[in-house]
Chain A
């Protein structure tokens, strides 16, 4: 979803807006012509088979119009289209049984292959965040997404044994995940649904934790919960701990904990109190409720859903949708995400020669995209 926040600030004249839009388009063109890694994206999306690329759905947003079911025979066509139309957003859909731009030529046009995708948005944690709300996000909120990434990584790698996983910052307030293993590319919508249902956590006290959930709890959730409490100051004051204690199902116990919390001196002792409580189910209830990944499951369940391309420029924030290293996602600093302006300045200063070694993008393209992801696909 695209939202345009520009109107919220001081009112501007038509001319000013037009000028700004022109600048943005010009900057975007420089970005697409010199920075966007078309060749690497092509290598990824084709998985060594040109047809995979040719039959893939592309979708573009330009001047508020979404064009779906665009397709290209090769990377040159793709690059030429983008350079001419300068889209504000590029999305990828499924690989179909026929080139999507010619889909009217056949009767049964169907998606055949697709990465398994996940979309996690910080706004889904609004009821537990103490620092920001809505579209705002800061490094303190990031901890929720860290837990989400770590948890999904554990499930996808250790439980499902997937190997080819790409994490991408969505440009404003969330993260995207692309699972690209062959078993997943080929899986039917029904298998996708089952995978997603397996991962999805239903908050139902009647169901005891499954062995897999217990594993995640011990390996990831419980250790990280302490960090979340610290960063978000969840156990510092009553209005904060209410956000957490609402996940205790039995009302009486919830009231008792609230009362006892007030008697305790600090955050640390409150956490220890919860740990030593006789009701062993209480802590897991809270922890799963607060920090278990909150997924937009409909995105993952069927093949036809679109997801924004890595290395797009987010239309509102102008930030680059850079890959994230899941091992080091705790150190990801929202303030350091490259912005379109940085890149254009770099280009204006040093000229074309600087591009392959762009100090802003080099790490994300060479290390995270090529070395950590693309090379392992082959």
Chain B
């Protein structure tokens, strides 16, 4: 068997691979006959897993997260050393296919690497001790050091981290990555010394780097794919975008004067920031970005965006100061200054992860509002909820299910639908909340028209 294939050329994964550890750094692209439908099905299943990982990062308890995660992985991407060739192929093929979907811009790449690394880590830590040993022997080329020959100071330091009987390793610190960052290694003259029990951190770092390189390569070979595959990748990308980005790519456009009538379609988070702005004629940095990118996402031009902010800010400051301090930030959001990236509006996971300063209404209200204030907001709604609805929303909020709570809130303020418009199990993006709301008001308008007839 040849385990040491280090180049990245295509390697045929033969049946022998079942003797290899199931976990891999995805360095060999499998070459099998496979029909397009299965291919797409594989990729979608992996997307589901990655999205679940993203979602769970914002959940509350680590323990529950780990359990739920392994449940989802087992359902869509089961993998162990006893896995069938088909299961192994599914894991490999879906990974490589998604690389091609996520290689096109920096934001996608970071997202993919982050969640793939979590997936890898979760799998690594659920390996049996035996499988773990196998994986280490295949992937960690260093031999343990002879403890007795070490300098006494290094010896003593190592014995603070693990027992004498353990195996200890020594590698250049540049290769030790997170072992350094998490202070799990002892550092001396440029070398990291560590015990075998923390080796997982090295794999995590390696995995991270290898996927990053892989994504760079994927973007180079994209054009060489079969046309049908290119089409499928495009399809997957747009599927992911509906989960994820909701930039203004769909070309909708909103005039400045229309904006007033659209506030009713704002999700709660944006509504609160907006109200704060109207009240104070000022917003802190985080709120400005969150609301500003959202407005960009619903189709407000940079010109109108500047008008929008000016209208409020000028009640409290001179035009000159406004231009000095705020124009740059607005243009930055639109990719016209600084890094010149066309920033996407924040998604729900991102917003939930924000840490708003006190009295700053950025972030997710289903997370940061006190139960009392939250209840007050519900009671002041035009569409008065009943007690049962209030209790449900509060218990969802308190359970940390921000996105589901947001969905229920949507249902509440958009009553009278024959069938639910949005079949997702939770709001994924404030801009999708807005879009569904707009659709709702369109339908209501048509209903009105019909009544008049």
Identify the A interface with B (CB < 8 A).
104, 158-161, 183, 187-188, 190-191, 193-198, 210-212, 214-215
B126 within 8 A of A: no
Out of A188, A191, A193, A212, name the residue touching B187 (CB < 8 Å). A212
Judge whether B161 and A211 touch: CB under 8 Å.
yes
Judge whether A160 and B190 touch: CB under 8 Å.
yes
B334 within 8 A of A: no
Judge whether B180 and A194 touch: CB under 8 Å.
yes
Q: A212-B183, A215-B157 are in contact. Are A159 and B177 (CB under 8 A)?
A: no
CB distance from B400 to the nearest CB of A (A): 24
Q: Residue on A with the closest CB to B201?
A: A194
Please, which residues of chain A bring their CB within 8 A of the CB of B137?
none
Out of A104, A183, A194, A214, name the residue touching B177 (CB < 8 Å). A194
Judge whether B177 and A191 touch: CB under 8 Å.
yes
A111 to B189, CA, bound (A): 28
A183 to B157, CA, bound (A): 25
Interface readout for B186-198 with A: 1 if CB under 8 Å, 0 if not?
Answer: 1111110000000
Please, which residues of chain A bring their CB within 8 A of the CB of B424?
none
Please, which residues of chain B bring their CB within 8 A of the CB of A188?
209
Please, which residues of chain A bring their CB within 8 A of the CB of B158?
211
Please, which residues of chain B bring their CB within 8 A of the CB of A190?
177, 205, 208-209
Please, which residues of chain B bring their CB within 8 A of the CB of A210?
160-161, 183, 186
Judge whether B208 and A195 touch: CB under 8 Å.
no
Interface size class of B (residues with CB under 8 A): 20 to 34
Q: A159-B188, A215-B157 are in contact. Are A187 and B182 (CB under 8 A)?
A: no
For window 63-122 of B, CB contacts with A under 8 Å fall at none
A183 to B191, CA, bound (A): 13
CB distance from B115 to the nearest CB of A (A): 16
Please, which residues of chain A bring their CB within 8 A of the CB of B156?
211
A-B pairs with CB below 8 Å: how many?
A: 57
B129 within 8 A of A: no
A212 to B209, CA, bound (A): 26
B252 within 8 A of A: no
Out of B160, B174, B190, B191, name the residue touching A187 (CB < 8 Å). B174
A4 to B160, CA, bound (A): 51
CB distance from A301 to the nearest CB of B (A): 11
B131 within 8 A of A: no
B415 within 8 A of A: no
10 closest Cβ pairs, A-B complex: A161-B190, A194-B181, A211-B157, A197-B181, A159-B187, A161-B189, A194-B180, A198-B180, A211-B186, A211-B160
CB distance from B74 to the nearest CB of A (A): 30
Q: A160-B173, A211-B157 are in contact. Are A197 and B182 (CB under 8 A)?
A: yes
CB distance from A54 to the nearest CB of B (A): 21
Given contacts A159-B187, A188-B209, A197-B182, 15 further A-B contacts (CB under 8 A): A158-B188, A159-B188, A160-B173, A183-B190, A190-B177, A190-B205, A190-B209, A191-B174, A194-B176, A195-B180, A197-B180, A198-B180, A198-B187, A210-B186, A211-B157
B438 within 8 A of A: no
CB distance from B271 to the nearest CB of A (A): 32
A57 to B208, CA, bound (A): 28
A328 to B183, CA, bound (A): 30
CB distance from B106 to the nearest CB of A (A): 9
Identify the B interface with A (CB < 8 A).
156-158, 160-161, 173-174, 176-178, 180-183, 186-191, 205, 208-209, 340
A159 to B189, CA, bound (A): 5
A203 to B242, CA, bound (A): 42
Please, which residues of chain A bring their CB within 8 A of the CB of B186?
210-212
A251 to B340, CA, bound (A): 51
A215 to B157, CA, bound (A): 9
Please, which residues of chain B bring their CB within 8 A of the CB of A193?
181
Q: Residue on A with the closest CB to B193?
A: A211
Please, which residues of chain A bring their CB within 8 A of the CB of B160?
210-211, 214
A200 to B174, CA, bound (A): 18
Q: Residue on B with the closest CB to A213?
A: B183
20 contacts between A and B (CB under 8 A): A104-B340, A158-B188, A159-B189, A160-B173, A160-B190, A161-B190, A183-B190, A188-B209, A191-B174, A193-B181, A194-B176, A194-B177, A194-B178, A194-B181, A195-B180, A197-B182, A198-B180, A210-B186, A211-B157, A215-B157
CB distance from A206 to the nearest CB of B (A): 13
CB distance from A102 to the nearest CB of B (A): 14
CB distance from A350 to the nearest CB of B (A): 43
A198 to B180, CA, bound (A): 6
Please, which residues of chain A bring their CB within 8 A of the CB of B180?
194-195, 197-198
Q: Residue on B with the closest CB to A158?
A: B189
CB distance from B389 to the nearest CB of A (A): 42
A143 to B103, CA, bound (A): 50
Q: Residue on B with the closest CB to A211?
A: B157
Please, which residues of chain B bring their CB within 8 A of the CB of A183?
174, 190
A161 to B187, CA, bound (A): 9
A194 to B177, CA, bound (A): 6
Please, which residues of chain A bring their CB within 8 A of the CB of B205?
190, 194
A144 to B15, CA, bound (A): 64
Please, which residues of chain A bring their CB within 8 A of the CB of B187?
159-160, 198, 212
A191 to B176, CA, bound (A): 9
Q: Residue on B with the closest CB to A183?
A: B174
Please, which residues of chain B bring their CB within 8 A of the CB of A195?
180-181
Q: Residue on A with the closest CB to B113?
A: A190
Please, which residues of chain B bring their CB within 8 A of the CB of A158?
188-189
A187 to B180, CA, bound (A): 14
CB distance from A103 to the nearest CB of B (A): 8
Please, which residues of chain A bring their CB within 8 A of the CB of B182?
197
CB distance from A179 to the nearest CB of B (A): 13
Q: Residue on B with the closest CB to A208?
A: B160
Please, which residues of chain A bring their CB within 8 A of the CB of B173?
160
Please, which residues of chain A bring their CB within 8 A of the CB of B178?
194
A240 to B336, CA, bound (A): 51
Q: Residue on B with the closest CB to A108?
A: B106
A160 to B183, CA, bound (A): 13
Q: Residue on A with the closest CB to B106?
A: A108
Q: Residue on B with the closest CB to A197?
A: B181
Q: Residue on B with the closest CB to A196?
A: B181
Q: Residue on A with the closest CB to B154?
A: A211
Judge whether B183 and A198 touch: CB under 8 Å.
yes
A215 to B182, CA, bound (A): 17
